[in-house]
Amino acid sequence: MKAFVGLLCGILFGVGLAVSGMTDTAKVQGFLDLFGAWVPDLAFVMGGAVCVTLVAFRFVLKSKKPLLAPRFSLPTKTAIDGRLLSGAAIFGIGWGAYGYCPGPAISALGYLQTNTGIFVVAMLVGMALANRITRA
Amino acid sequence: MFTYTTPLVGGLLIGVSAVMLLWCLGRIAGIAGIVWGAVSAQPDNAWRWLFIVGLLLGPFAYHTLAAVPYPAPSTAPWWQAVAGGLLVGFGVKLGSGCTSGHGVCGIGRLSLRSLLATLTFMATGIATVYVIRHVLGVL
Asked whether residue A19 carries a pLDDT value surpassing 90, the answer given is yes
Decide if B120 contacts A89 (C-beta within 8 A): yes
Mean pLDDT of A105-109: 98
How many CA within 13 A on the CB side of residue B28? Answer: 25
According to the model, what pLDDT value does residue A113 have?
Answer: 96
Q: What residues of A are in contact with residue B95 (Cβ under 8 Å)?
A: 83-91
> Within the 43-102 window of chain B, which residues sit less than 8 Å (CB to CB) from chain A?
44, 46-63, 68, 70-76, 78, 80-100, 102
B19/A33 Cβ within 8 A: no
Burial of A54 (0-12, 13-18, 19+ CB in 10 A): middle
Closest CA–CA distance from residue B51 to any residue of chain A (Å): 4
Write down the pLDDT at residue A136.
66
CA dist list (Å): A34 to A40, A47, B4, B133: 9, 17, 17, 11
Closest by Cα among A16, A74, A79 to A49? A16
Question: Does ipTM surpass 0.90 in this model?
Answer: yes
pLDDT in tens, chain B (139 residues): 567 899 999 999 999 999 999 999 999 999 999 999 999 988 889 999 999 999 999 999 999 999 999 999 999 999 999 999 999 999 999 999 999 999 999 999 999 999 999 999 999 999 999 999 999 887 5
In total, chain A counts a number of residues equal to: 136
Q: Taking all residues of chain A, what is their mean pLDDT, rounded to a whole number?
A: 96
Q: Is A68 close to B70, i.e. CB distance below 8 A?
A: no
What is the extent of the structural domain holding A114? 2-135
